Structure 1
Amino acid sequence: MTLHSALNDVKRSQGDPRRFPGERRSTTGLFSGLDERLVHVAPDGSVRDYSYPLSGLVGIERSRFGIELDGSMHWLEGGEQRYVDETAVVETVHDVGDRTLRQYDVTVGALHLTHFELEGDGADADDSGGTLYACLGFAPEGRVERTGQLRHDDTVEIYHDRERDYVTASTALEIDGQVPPYFEELLDGEPIELPRSDGDGRYEETRLSPIATAEIELTGAQPSTTVATLLTDADGSSRSDALEQVRTGAADHGDRESILEAGRTQVQTRLPDVAGATGGRVDGIVEDLRTLSLLRASNGARIAGPEFDPFFRYSGGYGYTWFRDDAEIAGFLLAADREADLGLEAWHRQSARFYVETQLEDGTWPHRVWAHNGEIAPGWANGRLEGDSAGTDYQADQSASVATFLATYLRVVDDADDEVREALLAALDGLDATLADDGLPERVQNAWENMTGRFTHTAATYLEAYAAIARAPIAAEYRERAAENARIVYDAIDRLWVPDRACYALRLDGDDLDERLDGSTFALASAHAEYAALEDTTIDDERIERLVSHLETTLEGLYRDPDGPIEGLARFEDDPWRVKEQAEPKVWTVTTAWGAHAAAEFGDLLAARDHEAADAFDEWATALLALVEPGGTLRGDGEYLPEQFFDDGTPDSATPLGWPHALRLTTAIALEATERDADPVASESAEGTVPLRE
């Protein structure tokens, strides 16, 4: 997002009770792109890139499409959108006068294709179908200044230095440029809309502009055309090769069927074949895997969500790979794959390789990195890199989550991977170095990244990591060391118990317990399930009763059912973030899905002990899962899970957010497996599936 676009949004959004001015939202519309680019298609048909974190290339900053029919100009506005079948092809249907314009968008590699097809009376072989107007503003390397255009007959190239962006079409077109906004216009109170004036003959200024325009013929028996854009790096592609690629891309995808076939082929190569994996028993698998793939770079790393706040005006940004989110997603996908045979082994292997390559010398992982190359990204929690011996500016739970995944990967995927084994042993050293003498992790930053202390959540991730390492195929001395530290952390967690509220604290802050309820403490369920799987280890009855009380108290205390269309779980008590004029904390999809997962997992643990509370937790899991399942009240366009919702149902923040999608997927599969195990007939059809914690 450039400053020009941010200022435009400020002008449009100032005073809106549900918008934070200057952001680049994706709470409406759908994304296309399962490979190098991530392209958003808004309901008005405009497209823009969110590709930089995944490819290192910026691409389309903003755009607008219109069609001239019978002398009348129709700029496209709100249309109806859907994904075509199980692909990432986005269909947008526009009403233009008494005609219908269908738009299909698909992103294949670095090539994005937008196909338009006109339907209705008068759209026949004798009718040219009118003229499509395309106005696209690019920002090569994030620049709107010091850019230029090269006009290659039927193709325009927008460039700054390294990045080169190309536009062409499958039918005849005329290309021009537009003068960028002047300073006075940027300061004016009204937003600057595309398209702008034609430049009043200022030839040189239209050539020094990132804004390209094209008048494109709609031709054929079914009047249509395809607009193609291509992003390239000067170091990786010659100009002649790029021109050939974008022209061929447009020509080869000049009709609807070729666009749809490209989408089907893309799914076959980028997504596992899950159509029959669960026998149709679990809804939403395709939707969740498609969403997670949209956020996934070619090396397997995932961004948290599309970047909506690149100026860090209201957040620290989202278009990065956090090792917390990524490793948790990787672990949930591994669990789901083990249960339902989703064919995700290539994903697991890529995740393991990425963690090996990004591990720091001390065995920990940094705050966040760029997905496309694993290099350190802007952040505020890199104390281990900066030599902060106290470790406060470090999010220790991230390293613990990676360690848990690597240990499980070695145990259930590839026990012969020596590089992963070495990384796991180094991670054990990193955990030990940040474990205090009292058995709790040192003072660090929390999962929500808004405070420091000694957190229940961090302790839970350490317990799970140590227990997972103790079960990994590594030398006995390391397994014994990890098992001993797991027992130490298990005992130390009692220091965080709050008798008056019968729950575990959010954190220990100095000598004081912060007694607020915190959704991240749902991690205690997974931690104790992993701990229970250790040999010669039992969870004592007192701990079980405390966990029952804690989870019941937290689920009930964070549950919100405001006077509106949504309900779910808040992040933590008195959470003030991004509430605007709203008095109460917002509902979060992460905590709602996490609560469902924790209830399901802890319910299984209780059922194995014939505990009377098991059924109640199963009911919690089912009820919360329904909120985030396809068709649930916390689902948005494209069945996306936005990070947050205002009480009136307005989605906010990163959309879609990867973490809750992975949580929802594995929880749905786990609950279905539990129901199947209770049904002998269903169990016979699922013979051969193996639970994660066997």
Structure 2
Amino acid sequence: MGVVPDDTMNLHSALNDVKRSRGDSRRFPGERRSTAGLFSGLDDRLVHVAPDGSVRDYSYPLSGLVGIEQSRFGLELEGGDGDDVDWLEGGEQRYVGDTAVVETTHQLDVGTLVQYDVTIGRLHLTHFELELEHELERERKRENADDDRAHPSIHACLGFAPEGRVGRTGQLRHDDAVEIYHDRERDFVAASTPLEVDGQIPPNFEELLDDEPVELPRPDADGRYEETSLSPIAMLEVALTGERPSATIATLLTGPTDGDRPDALERVRAGVADHADRTAVLEAGRSQARQRFQGADGESDESALGGTVHDLRPLCLLRGPNGSRIAGPEFDPFFRYSGGYGYTWFRDDAEIAAFLLAADRRADLGLEEWHRRSAQFYVETQLEDGTWPHRVWPHNGEIAPGWAHGRLEAGTDGVDYQADQTASVAAYLATYLRLVDDEDDDVRSALVAALDGLDDTLGDDGLPERVQNAWENMTGRFTHTAATYLEAYAAIARAPIDDERRERAADRAREVYEGLDLLWAPDRECYGLRLDDGDLDDRLDGSTFALASAHLEYDAVADLDVDENRLSRLVSHFETAIDGLYRDPDGPIEGLARFEDDPWRVRDQGEPKIWTVTTAWGAHAAAELSTLLADHDHDGADEFDDRARGLLALVEPGGTLRRAGEYLPEQLFDDGTADSATPLGWPHALRLATATALEEADRSDVDAAADEPAAQD
């Protein structure tokens, strides 16, 4: 669609959250958090299911459609006038096997209500199944033996936000379905059993300004039909029928290219008809998982993919059909406390793509289509000068709002540019061309242009010019940026392109390798964070962990070699950085901070927060450095292998930094409270790459041990 949605509906929800969260030392008021609950949606619709069973769309970045902004479900045992509804609160949640089917179990006074949610394409299915206590069930059947209409029912209050609107929306009630619409976006609801529909009036100005939040459902509309017909909030009563009372509710999001109204109605009706029972809903989720996760049979609760599914699933949730990924679910729609997360950053995305490629080659995960789509997306979004912009909308690749589009701004000095993003993409494309498809001429052309883009921002001293950093909070000449340039140039020097450019890339790699000496802090025996107007900022920075992969790639280039002095510096740097950033507070967690004196989102906490990105990055870097040291017969290899395994344990499935659904949130407070984007894609990809690397090393050790007696003979 390409139209940024209006924020009026989000504003209503944000104001409610401000009222609920005011004074909470671990919440930033006005956000739409996903730190609790689980997501469904492996295509271009992303739906969050909270522990109370309420569903909410985080779909706009991936599909250009907004969908459900708020919802609530309740159970009425006998149906009727809605005065005796047991509104659902907290439930127990899990994923069903390898799928993205979310199971939420609600323990009620009358029995157990199990809810299954799965998102297939732009269709979301919510299936309810009720198991009453035996005595209550017998009594219900006895009392209603002659009344076919006496069924338990689900009451669903669904607040949609077509194009983000709370005003200027409309409802069309099609007998067995409801349509909420504004202009380009039309959202539909249907059920597998008899359905009754009523409207809800949005909050008025006085209620929005009141001290208390406005809860759904709203009071009765008092017959104000015209207002409920102009509201994005629908109230549904859905009968639970059958021997084991059950029903499925479906919602469908559509845009201007998704067919006309009759076609959409047919699709949503077919959705509930084809998934009217638990078996059909679960099979839909299993079929989807088989298509998205190669090798997953989805036939039992035992994961066919082992621990990898706990990383592949969130990475697929965040991924659009064109292969691009959002950094994380958009939890701060007004950018009150952050710069937003529902975009594709080329740094994060290309790093994830590279880690997935490495993991796939080690563990045969069947992700060839993922790699191909990533490469094609980078080709399509490259700028004319060979670089990549700050961030784009994943659903169409168009430039998204940002503060680092300096290469697009005429007459600027170029400082507002994140050069590491271009370097990360270039490194991936070079590796893709070498390992996956050396006949892809589009990728080859993009890589050649990227080499020019890198050269254009490389200083005469071998360091990238002054730019923004990976954390997007300062400018300078960064160790991390230099490391990404070193890796990109080395990868290009190994790629199947013409000899002249390969030699040029190797020469540039030598220049950066030597230029890194300018960033060495002899007093701390580590590489500093940046050069700032010629002065060395020697703070420890987790992004400098990129030095390990960069030097391993450099060492693989013919005629290039990491010398003994550099190996000693790398050992010293990583010992200093890992130990210096490590935090073990009085709480349930431990791990690595982002950089020294990091003040971001700490609230009243005195120390920097622990980040899953830097913890997983530290594990990956330690494993890479161990490999590099072993290749040079350096006696520090075992030390860093141990460090890698120790850090990896913190982000492994079941590790102390994991949260619901085995998600890795971006950050955690010292008391273990998750914060910011959840799940975040980058640490999941790092975790997967590190785990497969260490497993491969273990297999090599076993093979070597098995061969040893034969060698002695």
Question: TM (normalized to structure 2)?
Answer: 0.94
1:2 partnered with 2:24: no
Q: Counterpart of 1:114 in 2: which secondary structure?
A: strand
Which residue identity lines up with residue 40 of structure 2 in the other structure? S
Partner residue in 2 for 1:173: 195
Write out aligned runs for 1:337-348 (5 A).
337-348=360-371
Q: Give yes or no for contact 2:311–2:688 (8 Å, CA) kept in 1.
A: yes
Q: 2:432 aligns with which of 409, 431, 439?
A: 409
Q: Give yes or no for contact 2:296–2:303 (8 Å, CA) kept in 1.
A: no
1:281-330 deviations in Å (ceiling 9; x for gaps): 98520111111000000111000000000100000000000000000000
Counterparts of 2:607 and 2:578 in 1: how far apart (Å)? Answer: 16
Q: Counterpart of 1:545 in 2: which secondary structure?
A: helix
Q: 1:394 aligns with which of 397, 412, 417?
A: 417
Stretches of 4+ aligned residues off by more than 3 angstroms: 122-129, 279-283, 681-684
Q: Give yes or no for contact 1:453–1:508 (8 Å, CA) kept in 2.
A: yes
Q: 2:40 aligns with which of 12, 17, 32?
A: 32
1:542 partnered with 2:565: yes
1:115-146 deviations in Å (ceiling 9; x for gaps): 00001224479465412100000000011111
1:553-589 deviations in Å (ceiling 9; x for gaps): 0000000000000000000000000000000000000
Which residue identity lines up with residue 322 of structure 1 in the other structure? W
Task: Provide closer, same or farther for how the CA distance between residues 682 and 404 of structure 1 changes in structure 2, counting only shifts above 3 A.
Answer: farther
1:658 partnered with 2:681: yes
Which residue identity lines up with residue 574 of structure 2 in the other structure? L
Which residue identity lines up with residue 689 of structure 2 in the other structure? T
Counterparts of 1:350 and 1:683 in 2: how far apart (Å)? Answer: 40
Q: Structure 1 residue 247: deviation in Å?
A: 0.7
1:55 partnered with 2:77: no
Write out aligned runs for 1:132-531 (5 A).
132-273=154-295, 283-387=306-410, 389-531=412-554
Counterparts of 2:296 and 2:489 in 1: how far apart (Å)? Answer: 33
Partner residue in 2 for 1:87: 99
Counterparts of 1:175 and 1:282 in 2: how far apart (Å)? Answer: 43
Q: Structure 1 residue 98: deviation in Å?
A: 2.9
1:250-288 deviations in Å (ceiling 9; x for gaps): 111111000000001111122222679xx9998520111
Task: Provide closer, same or farther for how the CA distance between residues 674 and 447 of structure 1 changes in structure 2, counting only shifts above 3 A.
Answer: same
Q: Counterpart of 1:679 in 2: which secondary structure?
A: helix
Write out aligned runs for 1:482-631 (5 A).
482-631=505-654
Q: Counterpart of 1:537 in 2: which secondary structure?
A: coil
Counterparts of 1:106 and 1:681 in 2: how far apart (Å)? Answer: 46
Which residue identity lines up with residue 523 of structure 2 in the other structure? D
Instruction: Give the fraction of aligned pairs with identical amino acids, expressed as a percent.
Output: 74
Counterparts of 1:275 and 1:487 in 2: how far apart (Å)? Answer: 48
Q: Structure 1 residue 540: deviation in Å?
A: 1.0
1:632 partnered with 2:655: yes
Q: Give yes or no for contact 2:295–2:304 (8 Å, CA) kept in 1.
A: no
Range with greater deviation from structure 2 (318-327 or 126-135): 126-135
Q: Structure 1 residue 236: deviation in Å?
A: 2.5
Q: Structure 1 residue 348: deviation in Å?
A: 0.4
Q: Give yes or no for contact 1:272–1:344 (8 Å, CA) kept in 2.
A: yes
1:119 partnered with 2:145: no
1:67-93 deviations in Å (ceiling 9; x for gaps): 012584210000000000110000000
Which residue identity lines up with residue 6 of structure 1 in the other structure? A
Counterparts of 1:64 and 1:389 in 2: how far apart (Å)? Answer: 50
Q: 2:122 aligns with which of 87, 107, 110?
A: 110
Partner residue in 2 for 1:67: 75
Counterparts of 1:403 and 1:593 in 2: how far apart (Å)? Answer: 23
Aligned length: 682
Q: Which runs of 5+ in 2 are unaligned?
A: 1-8, 145-149, 708-713
Partner residue in 2 for 1:689: none
Which residue identity lines up with residue 534 of structure 2 in the other structure? D
Counterparts of 2:220 and 2:291 in 1: how far apart (Å)? Answer: 43
Q: Which runs of 5+ in 1 are unaligned?
A: 685-694
Q: Structure 1 residue 390: deviation in Å?
A: 2.6
1:412-452 deviations in Å (ceiling 9; x for gaps): 00000000000000000000000011110000000000000
1:215-244 deviations in Å (ceiling 9; x for gaps): 111110010000100000133211000000
Partner residue in 1 for 2:49: 41
Q: Counterpart of 1:190 in 2: which secondary structure?
A: coil
Counterparts of 1:259 and 1:422 in 2: how far apart (Å)? Answer: 45
Counterparts of 1:237 and 1:310 in 2: how far apart (Å)? Answer: 29
Range with greater deviation from structure 2 (116-125 or 102-111): 116-125
Q: 2:21 aligns with which of 10, 13, 18?
A: 13
Task: Provide closer, same or farther for how the CA distance between residues 274 and 230 of structure 1 changes in structure 2, counting only shifts above 3 A.
Answer: closer
Q: Counterpart of 1:145 in 2: which secondary structure?
A: coil
Counterparts of 2:444 and 2:706 in 1: how far apart (Å)? Answer: 35
Q: Give yes or no for contact 1:283–1:630 (8 Å, CA) kept in 2.
A: no
Task: Provide closer, same or farther for how the CA distance between residues 280 and 541 of structure 1 changes in structure 2, counting only shifts above 3 A.
Answer: farther
Q: Counterpart of 1:474 in 2: which secondary structure?
A: coil
Counterparts of 2:129 and 2:227 in 1: how far apart (Å)? Answer: 33
Partner residue in 1 for 2:147: none
Q: Give yes or no for contact 2:286–2:297 (8 Å, CA) kept in 1.
A: no
Counterparts of 2:121 and 2:704 in 1: how far apart (Å)? Answer: 44
Task: Provide closer, same or farther for how the CA distance between residues 90 and 379 of structure 1 changes in structure 2, counting only shifts above 3 A.
Answer: same
Q: Structure 1 residue 201: deviation in Å?
A: 1.1
Counterparts of 1:587 and 1:123 in 2: how far apart (Å)? Answer: 50
Counterparts of 1:641 and 1:575 in 2: how far apart (Å)? Answer: 20
Partner residue in 2 for 1:692: none
Q: Give yes or no for contact 2:98–2:305 (8 Å, CA) kept in 1.
A: no
Q: Structure 1 residue 387: deviation in Å?
A: 2.7
Range with greater deviation from structure 2 (492-501 or 280-289): 280-289
Q: Structure 1 residue 507: deviation in Å?
A: 0.2
1:23 partnered with 2:46: no
Q: Give yes or no for contact 1:391–1:442 (8 Å, CA) kept in 2.
A: no
Q: Structure 1 residue 681: deviation in Å?
A: 8.2
1:638-687 deviations in Å (ceiling 9; x for gaps): 00000000000000000000000000001000001111100028999xxx
Q: Counterpart of 1:286 in 2: which secondary structure?
A: helix
1:8-30 deviations in Å (ceiling 9; x for gaps): 00000011000000000000000
